[in-house]
Each structure stands twice: as structure tokens, then as C-alpha cells.
Amino acid sequence: MKPCDGFAPAREQAKHEKHKNVLKDYPTFKYIFAFPVFFRTFGALKGLVKSPMSNDKNIDNKGGISEEVTPENSEYKETADYSTDDMADDDQHSDYMPADRFDASAVHHLSGMYKNWFLDYASYVILERAVPDIEDGLKPVQRRILHSMKRMDDGRYNKVANIVGHTMQFHPHGDASIGDALVQLGQKNLLIDAQGNWGNILTGDRAAAPRYIEARLSKFALETVFNPKTTQWQQSYDGRNKEPVTLPVKFPLLLAQGAEGIAVGLSSKVLPHNFNELCDAAISYLRGKAFELYPDFPTGGAIDVEKYNDGQRGGTVRVRAKIEKLDSKTLVIREVPFTKTAASLQDSITKAIEKGKIKARRVTDMTAREVEIQVQLSPGISSDKTIDALYAFTDCEINISPNCCVIDGDKPAFLTVSDVLKHNVDRTMGLLRLELLIRKGELEEQFFFASLERIFIEERMYKEKKFEQAPDQKAVVAFLDVKFDPFKKDLIREIKEDDYLRLLEIKMQRILKYNKDKAEQLMAKVKAEIKGIEHDLAHMTDVTVAWYKHLKATYGKDHPRLTEIRSFDTIEAAMVVEANEKLYINRQDGFVGTGLKKHEYVCNCSDLDDIIIFYRDGKYKITKVADKIFVGKNVIWVQVFNKNDKRTIYNVVYRDGKSGYSYIKRFNVTSMTRDREYDVTQGKPGSKVLYFTANPNGEAEIIKVTLNPEPKKKRQNIFMEMDFSEIKIKGRTAKGNILTKRSVHRVTLKSHGRSTLGGRKVWFDKDVNRINYEEHGRLLGEFNDDDSILVVLDNGDFYITDFDVNNHYEKNIKVLEKWDPDKVWTALLYDAENEGYPYIKRFQMEATKRHQNYIGDNPESQLITLTDTAYPRFLVTFGGDDAVRQPMEIDADEFIAVKGFKAKGKRISTWTIDKIEELEPLRFPESASADEDEDAEEEKEENLDPDAGKSQQQIIDEMTGQLSLFNDEDSSHKS
């Protein structure tokens, strides 16, 4: 049977025409019709049942009976009568009989059957199940739940099982879908006041059974979601009840709660946003100002919104868990990414450990009311690098792709978050205007009848004989109409017959107790209220702004932002994965891999790494780490390749061709195409690498070149030395400098050199709280191997770190700079241990990686200022009872000596201080002397020459294979 025919709905026939046109503008669906196998089963079921309500009442294009909404037919009347006598006769039953399978009227032609039924089904799922409506931000099941809860509302909690049963009057899809939707609404903590075990979005625990938990509408829902006077109604699926087409929500509910649904051929994913920020954005829009909206998740964490794209499809957000260092061996996860739970996060970490991506001893989930997952690290493992690895290889970082798809005008529409907010704000203004108009009409009716009543009583019309002796109501109405003629011009509208009849219902007791003064006061009050409403109607923007301010002031404190908006750094998996494999090489057979454990060990690596290989003929390439891979013979160098590494410099001497010149070059390799062959030489056949070194910090050694002797020359010099520091570092395609035109016998290392690259420049990027070498952020300086970074936090903690780019730093950084052990710091603080008096202290930061605090152990102590000025000056201004005293100027260098950071310091004054300002210094430190220490002992020059102690002739004899009959001294003596 059709999905929309199962319960013989009274409004489904009209919806059929609406559903036919929903997807005609979406070309995706025309390709779905190529799969008749799915529809064959669906079609077989379709032919078994024919809708008994196919020709029912005339239904409007909204799916409900066209009817003017009045207080009399409201669903939320104080004395609501829910009988359905006006809809169906209780004594009248349907004469529907199931169609016989041989009945000719039940026969369907196959032509177009699959296409039409599938479109009906797809349209039904989109409009009636999966996608929220832009008007109130709710899916049909959510709307029906709230409608049922409003009908049941008496201020007390109701069993969820009772709510589910009541909602089934409106929702034709069973209790399971209603119960799940109700629990999800309750977990959002906005519309439903929940009581009992409603599950835990942090752990993934399910809610208790519906019979054990209770719920009622929240105050926010009662104030913003319902108003029967402005609600448009329609018949329920079975025609027995009325339900709202949409609820008159005066708030961007869709953006506050978020929504997710998968329909046929499309999906919707609207992320939740912060309550207060939605109010602020609505006010900004009303005032014509720009605004920005970013998601806020109930699970907390951090979010990078650089590519959010205003919530439109095609955008993405990066979400991270909150990871802290408990100590050097333990990491703690405090908040999980949206859509993840503590259990799923623990599973992903465990899998990463099993695969060797992360080295940790164990993962313990201690989550209860708050998330707490402890990761115990293995000995010797960097906690900073492990944090990056958790983001790279586990669900601690995920990407979420929003897709703001909503139902707008009975069709799916792909909008931006800003579009949805603007629509909701405009609709809120329209609803507020409508409420004011309705209220104004009610007040005008009240004022009108009060005027009639006053005239009726004051003129004593009820005492007239024609009134008392009137034969029937018609005569009374005619009499009153004549009597009211002189007053009609002063009334706000014409008098109708019903108005006269209403006067007849006034009891004599009321007439006897009628007080003219009180009646006039009441009419004046009503008139003033009408005037106020007219003012509001002329200033609807101000009214709407006041509405959102009221919502923020009343409910905003319960909805603080939980998700931190940050810029994330890009983590390369290969840079943070643990080197859990060992790389080996079989030079004889030309194989490299992690499975060649009986052969030569090269280095540690991971399965994500690339390796770079250099050959004797000058060829080189990179390839992926594997268990065993053939790379060829004559390998002179193999190592893990680090992309964008500008510090590793290759020093090479090569021969160009079989008998060409010898060249010397220095180069780095920052990027290559995997498995593509490159050449150090100029590519001539017979070229050969004569000397090769890889220097991770750009070291430049001194080499000794031994030339082949020329037989015809008696006196010749076959030795030459070359310092690589004299060779410029160029690109890998440069041919280099000519070393010699003569034939080279060998090239050997004479002495190791130092780095020619100088110190490494380090930058600090405040946006991501990370250091880098790519010139992002503030330059910290040039760092050598023994240099450190000083970190000072707002709470007084300080420590030093190395300049590894894997380091993580806190958010509350006060100072981050290159550490200078000789720098003197000056701190002014209020010492809580000494009655809160202001103190001044001067000290030097100690070199330790352990957190230490220069303010003190008392958390009540407060820092006034911290400066690294060499000779700081301060101006102290007094206040309170001491405001008459002259300000005091302090020269810190003269006021107090430099002591340890734990010293208490010196009290500035016992008088009441208003403020302390830092002044410009009058003295500056002398510049450091540039003279070198003449007494410094020079380092002994290193000499690694393998031919040390040998004469040139001995070397030539070794090269030519001749036996030297005499030593050099004898030869020189004979000559």
C-alpha cells in the first residue's frame, strides 16, 4: 500500500497533488527511477489496498479544512471541548470494505506506476518526516509532541508514556518514533522540563523506559511556542482531531536546537547555535547591522569555523575534543566533539593504539556527570606529540558538514543560517503584530460593550415599559435600536443584534451594583491600553527588539556558550605518528622494508612515512614505506623523508659522465612526486656520485680531494681541500660548481663543520597557540640547539620549553618569548597573605620545565603588573581616605634588590591605593661589549684525513701499485 494510505487519512488525497510537485525541480530523482527492483516489491504491496478516503471532504492546499481561527474553536481553551461531533457522526461508521484481489476497481496499470509511487513516497518522507519546517523549526513528530503536551499541560509533570500515547492521536507512525523524538527534545534542555533518567549525551546511555520518566513544557516553551489565537489548524491524519499546521514560535528555534534528517535523495543537517548569540543576531538584524552566527554544541569542545560557509551545504567545520595535561605521563579528555560520546571516543583511541599510531599504556573512561577520559602514556613519549596524534588518528577531531535544508512553502530549500534567522525574525515580528491586533480588537470590543452597558444602565432603558412588556426578543431589539440612535455616532462601530441580545443577559444584581466611576476608570484604562497598542503597532521594530532582549534577560543565563571558537593548526599525520616500525635494507638484493629484520638496520619509521633513496649513479626518488619493496642496488643513502624540510642539506661531489668534470653542490629537497626518478647529476651516462652526506642542520664539512696523478708530469699536486661552507645552497636541479677538471681518485672527509644556516627562526601564532617555522605570527627570534622558550601564564605560572613545533601551549599566556637567563623581571601584586597590601619584587626566571609560580601559593593574591623593563618606574596614586596624599614615584631598581622569584618582596604602602601606573624609564642598560675574550682557548682543529702522515709520493705509489724502495728522506738525500 501507499505510505500515505495506511490509516485512511482525510487530508492525504489533497496532499497527493502537493507531493507530486515537490521534487519536480530536483533532477537527482530522475536517475532513481532506473532501479525497478526496489519498486517491484513496493508496487506489489501497493496494489493490495485501495484508499477508502480517496474522495473525502474538500481540503485546502495546506492539507486542512479552511476555517477562520477564533477563540471559540481554539484547541487551548480553558474549558476545551474535544468532542468531534462537528467532524463525524458518532453513530455513523465507515462502509468501507477491503477490495477483493479480483476486483476490477483494484487493478492498476503498470505504466508510470513506479515513478508516481516513488515520487509520492519521496515527497511524503521529505515533507512529513525528515526535514524541519522553516516556519517553526520543527519536524511533524516534534510539532505533534509539543501540541499534545500543551493540551495535557496543567503545570505538573506527565509520564512520558502518557505523552506518547496522547501524541499517537496525531502521529501515525507508532510509539517508538514518538518516544525517541521526545527524548531528543528533552535532552536539548530548551522546550521540555525533564524529570528522571533521560539518558546522557556524553556517555551515549539511553533514557529510562517511558513509564519511569516524566516531562512538562518549559517556561520558555509556554511563553514563545504557543498561541491558539495565531495558530492555523488542520485535521489530523484520521480526521478525528485538529493539529497545528505550524506552531507560532516567536524565536529561531531551528537554529537553537539544530536538526538532522535523511530523506529520499536529500538530507538536512542544521547545527545548534547559542541562545544568547541568536538573540543578539536578531537584534542586530532588526537594527540593520551585520551579524555572524557560529555553532555551539552541548558537548562543548572547540570548533574551527573558517569554512562554515554560513551553514550552507558545501561548508565544513572542524570540531575537537578538549585535551589537557594531567601530568607528564597522563592526558585527560574533558570534552568530546559533537555527535561523539565518551565510549565511542575511547574505542577510537584504543584502535589507534592497537594500530601503533599512538603509544599509550591504557585508556580509562571515568566519565560520569562530566567527561573524563585518561590516557596513560608509555615511558619516553612526548605528551605534546601525543595530543597531535589524538587529533590526527582518533575521533578527538572530526569534520562536520552542515546542510541547511528546510521546508519552505511546501518545498525543500537550501538556505544559509543567516537566511533562516532573518525569516524567523520577520515571522516573529509578524506574530507579535498579529497578537497586538488581536488584543486591540478584544480591547475595542470590551470598550464597545462597556459603552453600551453604561448607556443602557444610565439611561435606565431596562425600566421602559416597552422593554419590560415586549412580547419577544425581536421587539426588545427593535426598542433598543431606537433608544440607542442618539448614541450611535459616538460608538466605535455599528451595533449588531448580538450586542443587544448580550445586553439582555445582564443580571439585575449587576445593574443594582453598577458604579459609574469604576466603569469610567475601567474604560479609561482600556482606552489607554489601546493607545499603547497603537503606539507599539507603529514601532514594531522596537517591540521586536524588546522581545528578544526580554528572552535573553530571562533565559539567557541558562545557556552560556559551551564550545570555544578557535583557529586550528593543520596536523600532518606523518609528522605526529609514532615511529613504531624499524626500516631495514638488503643492499645485495636491492630491497628495503620493515620486514627485512635479518638485514642492515636503517632507522625507525611509521607506515605513513615516505623514504628517500639516493643511488651511486646520482639518481634519487621517494617511495612509501612497505614491508618489502624492491628499490634497486647501489644505494648510497636511505632515510625517512620529511616534506618541506629546508634544514636538511645534502653535500654532494659528482662526476659528470664517464670522463667529465667533477662538480660540487649543496641542495635541499622539500617536495617530490612519489616514485618519480630525479637526478643529482646532469643526467649524462656514466655519471657517478663521488661523495655524499646528508646534514640535518645544514652542516658544512671540509673534504680532501685526491686526484689521479698524470704520468708525464714529474712534479704535480694531487691533493686539494674544499670547504662546503663556501658553496651556496641551491635548488636540487642546479648542476653545482666545478670542483676540478682533472680525474678524481677519491674524496674523503677531513673535518666536520658547523651549520651554515645559523639559528632557526621561530614564530608564535596566537590564533592557534602554536610555534612554527613558516613565518606565521610573531617572530620570537633565532634559536640554536641550547636555546629555550619562556612561557609565563596569567596565573603567575612560568616554565621553559624547547622550540619543537609539536609543543602545545595554554590559552592564558601572558608572556611567550626566547628565554634570557639574565633578564630581570619586576612584578607588582596584592599579597593575600599580608592583608592584601601591594608588594613589589624583582627576580629572574629559573630554567625549569616544571610549572612554578612567582605570585605565591595563595590563589587570592592578584597580579597588578609584570614588566621586563631593566629600570622600571611606577607612579602610585592613593584613594579612599588617603586620596589627599601626594602620589608616590617608585624607582624599582633603587626600591628593592633582585632576589629569587619565591621572595615575598617589599610592601609599597599601607595606605589605600587607587591605581599604579608604569612610567617611562630614565635609565637604560648598557649595550653588551662586542670584544671577544682574548684569553679564550681556541678549539683544537679536527683532522679526520685518512692519509695523515703520508707523503704525496706514498699516496701516488699506492694509487699506481708501485713499491717504494726508498723513503722520502733517502730520495731527497740522493737527489
User: Which pLDDT tens digit goes with each residue over 590-634?
Assistant: 999 999 999 999 998 888 889 999 999 999 999 999 999 999 999
Residue 58: pLDDT above 90?
A: no
Cβ-contact 149, 163 below 8 angstroms: yes
Beta-carbon contacts of 416 under 8 Å, excluding residues fewer than 6 positions away, are: 309, 310, 311, 312, 404
Distance CA 371, CA 389 (A): 20
Place 25 in a pLDDT band, splitting at 50, 70 and 90.
Answer: low
Overall residue count recorded for the chain in this entry: 975
State the catalytic residues.
Answer: 212
Least confident of 383-392, 753-762, 913-922: 753-762
Question: Residue 97: its pLDDT value, please?
Answer: 59
CA distances (Å), origin 767, targets 78, 569, 809: 57, 9, 12
> CB–CB of 829/861 below 8 Å?
yes
pLDDT at 930 > cutoff 50: no
In single-letter form, the type of residue at position 752 comes to H
For residue 120, pLDDT over 90 is answered with no
Show Cβ contacts of residue 542 under 8 Å, excluding neighbours closer than 6 positions.
536
CB atoms within 10 A of CB 313: 17
Residue that is written with C-alpha cell 495565531 in the block: 230
pLDDT digits (tens, 9 = 90+) for 88-110: 444 455 565 555 555 566 566 66
Helix H or strand E segment including 906: strand 906-907
At 44 the pLDDT is 37
- 320 vs 339, 391, 564, CA distance in Å? 11, 7, 10
Cα dihedral sign for 607, 609, 615, 619?
Answer: positive
Give the model's pLDDT for residue 300.
Answer: 94
Q: What percent of the chain has pLDDT over 90?
A: 56
Q: What Å distances lie between residue 379 and 117, 359, 373, 683, CA to CA?
A: 64, 9, 19, 48
The three cell numbers of residue 684 are: 649524462
Q: How far apart are CA 15 and CA 125, in angstroms?
A: 12
User: Which is it for strands 898-899 and 837-843: parallel, antiparallel or unpaired?
Assistant: parallel
Residue type, 144: R
Tell me the CATH number of domain 319-398, given options 3.40.50.720, 3.10.110.10, 3.30.1360.40, 3.40.50.2300: 3.30.1360.40
185-to-215, 228, 252, 588 alpha-carbon distances in Å = 11, 22, 15, 68
Whose cell is 479544512? That residue is: 65
Q: What's the chain's average pLDDT?
A: 84
Q: Report d(CA 507, CA 457) in Å as an integer.
A: 11
The residue behind cell 470598550 is 447
Residue 61, pLDDT above cutoff 70: no
pLDDT, tens digit (0-9, with 9 covering 90-100), for 289-344? 999 999 999 999 999 999 999 999 889 999 999 999 988 889 999 999 999 999 99
Residue of 732 and 5 predicted with greater confidence: 732
283, containing H or E segment: helix 275-286
First to last CA, the chain: 120
Residue 494 has pLDDT above 70, yes or no: yes
Q: Which amino acid is at 490?
A: D
Which CATH class for the 577-751 domain?
mainly beta
As a dihedral over the C-alpha atoms of residue 79, residue 82, residue 88, residue 92, rounded to 10 degrees, the angle is -110
CA nearest to 59, candidates 11, 17, 6, 94:
11
**Is 36 a residue whose pLDDT tops 60?**
no
8 A C-beta contact, residue 448 and residue 493: yes
Is 874 a residue whose pLDDT tops 90?
A: yes
Identify the CATH assignment for 12-247 out of 3.90.1200, 3.10.450, 3.90.1070, 3.90.199: 3.90.199
pLDDT computed for residue 106 by the predictor? 57
pLDDT at 944: 72
- What pLDDT was estimated at residue 104? 60
What pLDDT was estimated at residue 107?
61
DSSP 211: T
Question: Is residue 873 classed as helix, strand or coil in its secondary structure?
Answer: strand
Query: 431-453: buried (b, 16+ CB within 10 Å) or exposed (e) per residue?
Result: bbbebbeeebeebbeebbebbbb
pLDDT at 32 over 60: no
Q: Which residues contact 334 (CB under 8 A, 6 or more apart)?
A: 300, 321, 322, 323, 324, 370, 371, 372
What span, in angstroms and rounded, lies between the C-alpha atoms of 784 and 420? 54
pLDDT at 56: 38
Question: Cβ-count burial of 485 within 10 angstroms (0-12 exposed, 13-18 middle, 19+ buried)?
Answer: exposed
Least confident stretch, 1-15, 178-192, 666-680: 1-15
For residue 146, pLDDT over 90 is answered with yes
In the block, residue with C-alpha cell 526535514: 131
The per-residue pLDDT for 46 is: 39
Copy the grid coordinates of residue 902. 619565591
Q: Are 534 and 528 in contact (CB under 8 A)?
A: no
